[in-house]
Structure 1
Amino acid sequence: MEFLGGIESFGSATLGYLLPFLFVLTTVVFFHELGHFLVARWCGVGVRVFSIGFGPELIGFNDRRGTRWRISAIPLGGYVKFHGDEGEASTPDRPALARMSEAERSTTFAAKTVWQRAAIVAAGPIANFILAIAIFAALFTLYGRETTSARVDTIVPGTAAERAGFQPGDTVVAIDGAPVSSFNDLQRIVSGSAGSDLAITVERQGGTVTLHATPELREVRDRFGNVHRIAQLGLSRTNDPSSIVVERFDLPQAIVLGAEETWFVVARTGVYLRDVLIGRESADQLGGPIRVAQVSGQVATLGFTALIHLAAVLSVSIGLINLFPIPMLDGGHLLFYLIEAVRGRPLSERAQDIGFRIGLAAVLMLMLFTTWNDIIHLSSL
């Protein structure tokens, strides 16, 4: 009976992680590929396959234009295969192109101008950013935004805040000249400023004082036991209910805030990657599919709203990663098209082939590295 109970518990836990993971990833991948698909159709490119996932087809159908819409067995991405493509990576099938009539060739991806090809490729990441903005805007419209006064309640001993001279009751009004209207604003600015000297203006006893403090990276454990390294000053907010406000927004305001939230995720990711490159941060915070599945399952326990918010954040991350100038990714294709536009002709087939091989190796190494990080992360819980 204990054995059967263990199997049931394992199955429930697996479904608890797998279903939210599939929902989040499928949503993000679908909109990414839909961006490629819609702009390709607009540019007159024939689309042979629209696939969510890789490998053998599980289920699918053909639309009236001959596109095969399919769900495949390996749910770790997706692709759009255009007319004249050799495979999922949008490499041209040159022997097939040579056999086509002029009319057939005109509907292939390879036959389009460099600007049309660039637009088709860029449409995937752009669709991810649009999806994120739409989700954030919907959440701001439907649920509003809870904010807390930037009033300091306590100072953690031995931290940058104590050394800078913060006092309970101080209210932060600006950091490096940027206005601060809530404790959320304060946290966001500080979290991306590890090791940077900040000029912080506070209201104190009817006047203003400027303090200088340098946020320090500290390990913080969330409610699920996951450890994150976040730059902090060592301040805690007030718990006074009167300081908590729920702001409501109409749709135009929500769209602007959604764009700002999307940019914040992009900027925060960029700061983290910069810090990894200069040695200020460790790369162990980079996660792969296992981590995404784990976080999806954990966030799903907080409700559908939290899961949708995670989908928006993941959509920004996937859009941003795909813009990296690495062959095999959308950014690598865009780099080749930029070189083609400058030179007036594309790179040689050999140069492109070498680039794609290097890109494939880089992507595989990144996948292995993030998977290893995921395993180490799980073993530490």
Structure 2
Amino acid sequence: MIQSPGILLTILAFALVIGPLVFLHELGHYLAGRLFGVKAEEFSIGFGREIAGITDRRGTRWKFSLLPLGGYVRFAGDMNPASQPSPEWLQLPASERAKTFQAKPLWQRAIIVAAGPIMNFLVAIVILSAFAFMFGENRTPSVIGTVIEGSAAAKAGLQPGDRITGLGGRAVETYADMVQFTQLRPNEPVRVDFVRGGAARSVDAVIGTRLERDRFGNEFKIGQLGIGAAGSTQVPVGLLEAPLVGLRTTADIVRMTVDGLGQIITGRRSVAELGGPLKIAQVSGERLSMGPIEFAFLIALVSINLGFINLLPVPVLDGGHLLFYAVEAVRRRPVEPQVMEWAFRGGMLAVLALMLFVTLNDLGAFGVWRHLAGLIG
């Protein structure tokens, strides 16, 4: 039976995911700016017309804006993408100019820009560290316990007792490592490195495909070798070790994100799998209805993806700013304002085009286009 969390719960869940994560992302920029003495003129959750806000004693306007899909911190002196002196900036009194973003050395500006994505990764690390402390870490070894008849593993000649040490040239230490690798690669050829009877061996296999459907009716194609683990090993994690486990899990998720993006770029995975705000809202409602643990894990995943996306070297994103700062560090002078201006215009168009594309993808996944075609037909 297909279950639905309902539109109100979905909207609430989306707000509980996106709102705090956007706030914390921008708070990272804000706190780094405060650390280096930069005045923040505006701190906005959302874009466009202000709905409500308040000005603090430092002169920062904290506000909610009409379009809630994002936010920003506007620092004093942040008047052009190149962060170069302008006539307007030069007219400021020296005391005010010293508090502007432009007046700070390159390394401080870079830290301020990077602090937003770093905050997102820290949020995920904290959540995943808490999970590790509460539930421990699964360290089941990558030893084959069972082989499903007719599976990819069976066709490749793998046997119970074999210990898998690598997949596709990537080292494998635990059963979870193996599952993470195979699930992202249905129907792909792979070299399997393993140890049998103390001798290292390798064999070529084609990862199988399994179609799964959750209780909300969502279908997923995932890869599987067709093997079962030889038991299960759940290890308690202490308070001091938990952050290391959280950091390692975050790194694993980033690697999976990079793998997935690479598969889309190379055509091995359909672009239809890209999701946008509507998909995030749908999944948020579903995870909230499944309980606080599932919902907290989703927040960690979205936070990692938010940090990762913002570090992409695309103008208008944090990664684009960092790219130009790196060029400035090498050249020992900023990129020309005209180049920066056109780059940021192109970056904005690219981001808007991507947002439109993923929104159309979301609508297609929800069956909107099929419904319209039925009405027209």
What is the SS of the residue equivalent to 1:225? coil
Deviation at 1:92, TM superposition (A): 7.8
Deviation at 1:312, TM superposition (A): 0.8
Whether contact under 8 Å (2:17, 2:284) holds in the other structure is yes
Q: How does 1:130-209 map to 2 (within 5 A)?
A: 130-145=122-137, 151-155=144-148, 157=150, 159-167=151-159, 169-170=160-161, 172-175=163-166, 178-181=171-174, 183-192=175-184, 195-201=188-194
Q: Deviations over 1:187-216 (max 9, x none)?
A: 013235563423242668x99875542324
Whether contact under 8 Å (1:85, 1:92) holds in the other structure is no
Q: Distance in 2 between matches of 1:74 and 1:304?
A: 27
| Segments ≥4 residues shifted beyond 6 Å | 89-93, 206-209
Q: Distance in 2 between matches of 1:318 and 1:348?
A: 29
Q: Could you tell me which residue of structure 2 aligns to residue 233 of structure 1?
A: 225
* AA in 1 matched with 2:322: L
* AA in 2 matched with 1:73: L
Q: Could you tell me which residue of structure 2 aligns to residue 37 of structure 1?
A: 30
Deviation at 1:162, TM superposition (A): 2.5
What fraction of aligned residue pairs are identical, expressed as a percent? 40
Whether contact under 8 Å (1:84, 1:92) holds in the other structure is no
Q: Could you tell me which residue of structure 2 aligns to residue 6 of structure 1?
A: none
Against the structure 1 CA distance between its residues 357 and 161, is the aligned structure 2 distance closer, same or farther, given a 3 Å change threshold? same
The TM-score normalised by the length of structure 2 is 0.86
Whether contact under 8 Å (1:323, 1:330) holds in the other structure is yes
Q: Distance in 2 between matches of 1:222 and 1:296?
A: 15
Q: Could you tell me which residue of structure 1 aligns to residue 100 of structure 2?
A: 108
What is the SS of the residue equivalent to 1:252? coil
Against the structure 1 CA distance between its residues 172 and 227, is the aligned structure 2 distance closer, same or farther, given a 3 Å change threshold? farther
Whether contact under 8 Å (2:82, 2:335) holds in the other structure is no
Against the structure 1 CA distance between its residues 281 and 98, is the aligned structure 2 distance closer, same or farther, given a 3 Å change threshold? same
Q: Distance in 1 between matches of 2:9 and 2:85?
A: 42
What is the SS of the residue equivalent to 2:6? helix
Q: Could you tell me which residue of structure 1 aligns to residue 373 of structure 2?
A: none
Structure 2 unaligned regions, length at least 5: 371-377
Q: Could you tell me which residue of structure 1 aligns to residue 311 of structure 2?
A: 323
Structure 1 unaligned regions, length at least 5: 1-9
Deviation at 1:37, TM superposition (A): 0.7
Q: Could you tell me which residue of structure 2 aligns to residue 276 of structure 1?
A: 264
C-alpha RMSD of matched pairs (Å): 2.9
Deviation at 1:248, TM superposition (A): 1.8
Q: Could you tell me which residue of structure 2 aligns to residue 79 of structure 1?
A: 72
Whether contact under 8 Å (1:172, 1:180) holds in the other structure is no
Q: Deviations over 1:213-269 (max 9, x none)?
A: 23245543333322233332233557xxxx345432112221111111111111111
Whether contact under 8 Å (2:164, 2:192) holds in the other structure is no
Q: Distance in 1 between matches of 2:31 and 2:240?
A: 25
Q: Distance in 1 between matches of 2:245 and 2:366?
A: 35
Against the structure 1 CA distance between its residues 222 and 236, is the aligned structure 2 distance closer, same or farther, given a 3 Å change threshold? farther
The TM-score normalised by the length of structure 1 is 0.85
Q: Could you tell me which residue of structure 1 aligns to residue 206 of structure 2?
A: 214
Whether contact under 8 Å (2:147, 2:153) holds in the other structure is no
Q: Could you tell me which residue of structure 2 aligns to residue 333 of structure 1?
A: 321
* AA in 2 matched with 1:69: W
Deviation at 1:138, TM superposition (A): 1.0
